[in-house]
Amino acid sequence: MMNLPNQAYIVGMYEHPTRKADGISLAQLHADVAIGALEDAGLTTRDVDGYFCASEAPGMGALSVPNYLGFNPRYVESTETGGSSYLILVHHAALAVATGRCNVALITMGDTQLADGLPFTLGGVDTRGAPEQPFSGPYRTFPAGMYAMVARRHMYEFGTTSEQLAWVKVAASHHAQYNPHALRREVVTVEDVLNSPLVADPLHRLDCCVVTDGGGAVVITRPEIAKTLKRPLVRVAGASEYVKHNAAGKVDLTYSAGRFSGPRAFEDAGCKPSDITYASLYDSFTITVIMQLEDVGLCQKGEGGKFVDDGKLISGVGKVAFNTDGGGLCSNHPGNRGGMTKILEAVRQSRGEAHPKVQVKDPTWVLAHGTGGTLSGDHGGATVILKRE
């Protein structure tokens, strides 16, 4: 594995403010976030020679978006692992930059399923022919039910409570109140979460993420270029990914792919979990956050409930703040592509550009982690560690 230190920097980022893309085409959404991130970096499309996207990109993705924007990349990649796709793409773009395959890598994400009236799926992924479909398809599983199994198992094994799950939502809501673009800005209590309708035992409605359109983009480049731009230096210090599948039914619901991607990313970065002061964690459901905290090493397995209770994930309260933009639970979860929003808020924290009420004091080391698929079956995990210089 090639190490990343000192070889790739995130120099531009942009998050689209929309949460329902009425009147915005999918191509225009990708264009908007691309131009926004490039302007943030002080670059233009003429500087871009690498392009990265997932399957929700319009048309043929890595062919269609450069055509629409009018640039000619010499390196392209389209990766599909659901919600972890864009953290994996940050890893791969950093590797492409570090190895000289491209100098300026642009990653765009955008989804308009809500405005288009489409069923909220894994970014339009076509699962026909998937080998697992004859076995799982007839059961008509749905996301909340799949994650409820993980939550119930965690409760059985480790004594985790519904109140502890609720504290994850409470923390997200405390942060969302300061984000003018968040879909749900109201602060909630543990009682509010527990009194919301039960969706799939033990998960309540407020344990589940919001459903939105939206998108974002990041720009990654070589250190020589990064140091000429008038932006804070945020280095991609470490990154790793892992795929955990259902192993023909031999599934252990107590851990996720982060058990493997997390330690490798820390080794790559040359830091420890105790160095992390901010973590962007995929929050499709409250249990997802607790699982990731444990698996990437921010707390011990089975101690996630205690790690999050009493507001410990709120910025300025506990050891690690999480999802200071409100995350997928309150702000933005576009097209099941929450991984992009995780890297965006991690960059904001690294730069010291988060809202003053939620900005962590020492953002030297921050972490972003995403999952894609479902924790109870096939899923990909990706961990990215950033260092502010």
Q: Three-state secondary structure along 317-352?
A: CCCCEECCCCHHHHCCCECCCHHHHHHHHHHHHHHC
Cα-to-chain-centroid distance, residue 342: 4
Model pLDDT, residue 250: 78
Judge if 241 and 230 occupy the same domain. no
Do 192 and 258 reside in the same domain of the chain? yes
Q: Is residue 317 part of a domain?
A: yes
Structure tokens at 58: 């319009």
In a domain, 119, yes or no: no
Same domain, 34 and 46: yes
Residue 275 and residue 323 share a domain: yes
Both 298 and 231 in a single domain? no
- pLDDT for position 381: 95
Question: 281 and 316 share a domain?
Answer: yes
State the total domains in the chain: 2
The candidate with the shortest Cα–Cα distance to 372, out of 339, 343, 347, 334, is 339
With respect to residue 125, please indicate whether it lies within any of the assigned structural domains. Answer: no
Residue 366 lies in a domain: yes
Q: From CA 163, how far away is CA 153, in angstroms rounded?
A: 16
Rounded Cα gap, residues 195 and 215, in angstroms: 32
Q: Please tell me the predicted confidence (pLDDT) of residue 2.
A: 53
The 10 Å CB-count burial string (b at 16+, else e) for 353-370 is ebeeebbbeebebbbbbb
Same domain assignment for residues 181 and 227:
no
Closest CA to 243 of 368, 64, 56, 371: 371
Q: Which CATH number does the domain housing residue 22 bear? A: 3.40.47.10
Position 93 in a domain: yes
Burial of 345 (0-12, 13-18, 19+ CB in 10 A): buried
Asked, for residue 14, whether it belongs to a domain, the answer is: yes
Q: Are residues 201 and 229 in the same domain?
A: no
- Print pLDDT tens along the chain (389 aa): 456 657 999 999 999 999 999 999 999 999 999 999 999 999 999 999 999 999 999 999 999 999 999 999 999 999 999 899 999 999 999 999 999 999 999 999 999 989 988 765 544 455 667 776 666 666 667 789 999 999 999 999 999 999 999 999 999 999 999 999 999 999 999 999 999 999 999 999 999 999 999 999 999 999 999 999 989 999 999 999 999 987 767 788 999 999 999 999 999 999 999 999 999 999 999 999 999 999 999 999 999 999 999 999 999 999 999 999 999 999 999 987 889 999 999 999 999 999 999 999 999 999 999 999 888 888 999 999 999 99
Q: Which domain holds residue 228?
A: 9-114+213-235
Question: 253 with 345, same domain?
Answer: yes
In a domain? residue 43 = yes
- Residue count of the chain, please give it: 389
Are residues 245 and 333 both part of a single domain? yes
pLDDT of the residue at 123: 45
Q: Given this model, what pLDDT does residue 143 score?
A: 84
Domain check: are 254 and 364 in the same one?
A: yes
Residues 86 and 170 in one domain: no
Inside any domain, residue 134 = no
